[in-house]
Amino acid sequence: MLQAKNGEFYLDQEPFQILAGGMHYFRTVPEYWEDRLEKLKALGLNTVETYIPWNFHEPKKGQFHFSGMGDVEQFIQLAHDLGLYVMIRPSPYICAEWEMGGLPSWLLKEKEIVLRSSDPVYLQYVEEYYDVLLPKFKPYLYQNGGPIVAMQIENEYGAYGNDQKYLAFLKEQYKKHGIDTFLFTSDGPEFIRQGSLADVTTTLNFGSKVDCAFQQLDRLKPGSPKLVAEFWIGWFDYWTGEHHTRDAADVANVFKELMEKKCSVNFYMFHGGTNFGFMNGANHYDIYYPTITSYDYDSLLTENGELTEKYRAVKQTLSKYIQVPEDYVSTISAKHYGSVTMQESVSLFDTLNQISNRFEHITPQPMEAINQKYGYTLYRTEVNRMGDLIMGIDAIQDRAYIYINGKYHTTIYKNDKLRNVTLNFTQESNTLELLVENMGRANYGEHLADRKGITHNIWLGGQYFFNWKMYAIELDVLPDNYQVEVETRFPKFFRGKFDADGTRDTFIDSKGFTKGNIFINGFNLGRYWNTAGPQQRIYLPGPLLKEKDNELVILELEHTDTREVQLLDQHKLKL
């Protein structure tokens, strides 16, 4: 098994340099796992690294998902069949710009829970999850004939807390389930003291300033082997921002410096993939920054798996130190399928009985309290006053469309500088509706316990209004009561059908639509926000298509001046 001694890594008692690439099986359709892994191997890397997202595998308490994109055992076996080693990072928290950092939202139903700590309530949930998860890895450990050579304890914990009992508990879970493998922690250089365990190898996450980073490691653990568990070669994007890029030559130069020092390296990311559905996370610093659907990350492979200039620059550098294979020739390609007319539509309000679960409570409840994971929640109450009433927006997470007596009034967003809005009620008894969108729970930092929906009752016109109806809209079920060219109020579902000869990759350009979600054959491809950017098109992997009668559905929240979308053969991210 992998060992660390004398400042180096050894595998089977022989010096071993980990040359790894990060790839998340849960961000790539299973039909493409082999293609991406072949390209990783062809680069000259010997190991694939992946996180394990708790919320993907236990979306509701006690309901486990390990099939399709969740079949992590198939992914590990495939890597093994291709001759690759595997590094697993199954910590309860993964960050990864993933919804709530991989923690399941149902944890937040416990109002007093202390996440990522030795809080007994939290630890019980972790242990129950690990009782199901960890035994899956034991047959794949290297000493058992499998490819797993290393596993992580937590993830960048020093950038969050200093609860050593919590880290020790996680280590003990591995022992409990017979996971006898090389263990490590990983942190940014400035946080390793709080995030490390004395008897576990400490690794570093950074993108540059190599000497400075390893000086801090040497001060904490002199003579420790050097592994960059996350060598950041790109960056993620957020809505309203620009597409982040990093120069290929710059990445290659830092990589060369690491190779000269004989460091082990994991490229984060080798292949980013896609935040399908509602699984994008968010960062919350001065304001809230929700991550876009694409997780292209300006990595070595594009979102749809193409080799980049950066890939070639890294391979050229690596070829000076080891013998690298020939490039893998992929059979996957994209196709221009042309336009699709969205002929049918239905208002979200006219299909609530099909697509939502209804709840009632004296006050509006957050999503988590009504067992809703993601998506949208419609809140409805009666306001028996007339005139202009001022409403604070602090309770509303994250974005809300407000309707009074069935008519759109205004939109509010948690980033709005103005923290109050004036609502005009024209009747003695009025119906107030707020459609609240969860745009992604925070995945990093102090706002990790990021409850969504309406988190407490709204103070409106100097008083509270009680008795609320709530409609949880997760969109795992779509409407079927469409009509042709009917004028109804937004949000609206639009539906169109098309054939896809060859079922090849394509990119949906929904220019003319504003904001919402796109579905193909019932699969939620993710969010679009055409007026915000930087993402301009949504990636549609070929395996999600059929030769005939594909059903394309768009939930448009705000407005559209078109009924057509284009299926193109090129990605586009706004620089």
CATH 2.60.34.10 fits 352-473, yes or no: no
Q: Give the number of residues written for the chain.
A: 575
Does residue 368 have an active-site annotation?
no
Q: Which of 97, 99, 156, 556 is catalytic?
A: 156
Catalytic residue among 58, 99, 230, 368: 230
**How much is the pLDDT for 574?**
59
Give the CATH number of domain 338-343+480-568: 2.60.120.260
Q: Is 257 a catalytic residue?
A: no
Q: Helix-strand-coil percent breakdown of the chain, rounded to 5?
A: 25, 35, 45
For the chain, 575 residues long, give each residue's pLDDT as a single digit of tens: 999 998 999 999 999 999 999 999 999 999 999 999 999 999 999 999 999 999 999 999 999 999 999 999 999 999 999 999 999 999 899 999 999 999 999 999 999 999 999 999 999 999 999 999 999 999 999 999 999 999 999 999 999 999 999 999 999 999 999 999 999 999 999 999 999 999 999 999 999 999 999 999 999 999 999 999 999 999 999 999 999 999 999 999 999 999 999 999 999 999 999 999 999 999 999 999 999 999 999 999 999 999 999 999 999 999 999 999 999 999 999 999 999 999 999 999 999 999 999 999 999 999 999 999 999 999 999 999 999 999 999 999 999 999 999 999 999 999 999 999 999 999 999 999 999 999 999 999 999 999 999 999 999 999 999 999 999 999 999 999 999 977 889 999 999 999 999 999 999 999 999 999 999 999 999 999 999 999 999 999 999 999 999 999 999 999 999 999 999 999 877 54
CA–CA gap between residue 301 and residue 294 (Å, rounded): 13
Give the per-residue pLDDT at 575.
44
CA 197-200-202 angle, to 5 degrees, is 80
**In what helix (H) or strand (E) does residue 40 lie, and over which residues does it extend?**
helix 33-43
Handedness of CA 159, 245, 512, 566 (dihedral sign): negative
The pTM is what? 0.97
Q: What does the alpha-carbon distance between residue 199 and residue 178 come to, in Å, rounded to a whole number?
A: 18
Instruction: Report domain extents, the chain.
Output: 2-318, 338-343+480-568, 352-473
pLDDT at 162: 97
Residue in 477, 575, 107, 512 with CA at minimum distance from that of residue 341: 512
Given a contact cutoff of 8 angstroms between Cβ atoms, the answer to whether 29 and 73 are in contact is no
Count H helices and E strands in the chain, helices first.
10, 35
Token pair 């003579």 in the structure block, residue: 223
Contact 505, 395 (CB under 8 A): no
Domain boundaries 2-318, corresponding CATH code = 3.20.20.80
Contact call for residues 153 and 198 (beta carbons, < 8 A) = no
Residues 6+ apart with CB under 8 A from 134: 90, 173, 174, 176, 177, 179
2-318 shares its CATH topology with 338-343+480-568: no
pLDDT at 461: 98
In whole angstroms, what is the distance from residue 1 CA to residue 140 CA? Answer: 12
Q: Are 86 and 68 in contact (CB under 8 A)?
A: no
First-last CA distance in the chain: 45
Structural contact between residues 57 and 343, judged by C-beta atoms closer than 8 angstroms? no
| Pairwise CA distance, residues 497 & 341, whole Å | 8
